Amino acid sequence: MISARNKTRLLKALLIFLGLVPFWLLLYAMLTDQLGANAIQTLHFRLGDWALRFLLLGLALTPIKIITQQAWPLRYRRILGLLAFFYASLHVLVYVALDLSWSWTAFIDEVSKSPYILLGLLTYVLLVPLAITSTKAMQKRLARRWLVLHSLVYVAALTACLHYLWLVKLDISQPLLYLGLLGILLAVRVDRFNRNRSVGRLKH
């Protein structure tokens, strides 16, 4: 019989495997020339999509915990966060290395014409310290400061959605969908905060 700890490890391994499937599919599509006429742009956009999806999935775990009153969903929050950072890193790397060829001049020129790029970079900058401090050791070391630092994930999710919305010029249905999902996830947290505060007042 599989112990609870081993079951959790297996589920984490499965989650990592499934989380990397989009990467391998994109890599295969790139190597077999299946990304269309503008392969670099397609690769860049799809990596960004997956980064945002995993970011929102990670944020969805707390509402799932609240609704189900089960703590187990939070065991997988770190993996989803790191997957989001992984795809976000590739998203930035493809843009800087393949699209701009590491040209600082080209970057400045692009930013002047497309300011949404700065919003995307801000999102990535916010994700970096979250990824670095995602271990249990850092959580213990930072104590309460860890919670304050990791609350930046809400800002990162918002700037990522706005970056996507600003980027899209025609069909904005998908970025609006992501913004709507983010709004629901934040609303659940606000509702829980208000309920806890009301309970605290009643006790006093």
Q: How far is CA 36 from CA 18, 20, 29, 55, 97, in A?
A: 25, 22, 9, 27, 19
Q: How far is CA 141 from CA 98, 99, 134, in A?
A: 38, 39, 11
What pLDDT score does 70 carry? 86
Residue 165 is which amino acid?
Answer: L
Q: Along the chain (204 residues), what's the average pLDDT of each consecutive run of 10 residues?
A: 78 95 96 91 95 96 88 91 97 93 87 86 95 92 90 95 89 92 90 69 53
How many other CB atoms are found less than 10 A from the CB of residue 36? 10
Chain-centre distance for alpha carbon 87: 8
The answer to whether the beta carbons of residues 163 and 123 sit under 8 Å apart is yes
Closest CA to 87 of 30, 46, 27, 47: 47
Residue 45 is which amino acid?
Answer: F
What pLDDT score does 25 carry? 97
3-class DSSP state for residue 62? helix
- Long-range pairs for 109-114 at CB < 8 Å and ≥24 separation? 114/167
Which residues, at least 6 apart from 159, have a Cβ–Cβ distance to it below 8 Å? 119, 120, 122, 123, 126
Closest CA to 123 of 94, 155, 95, 83: 155
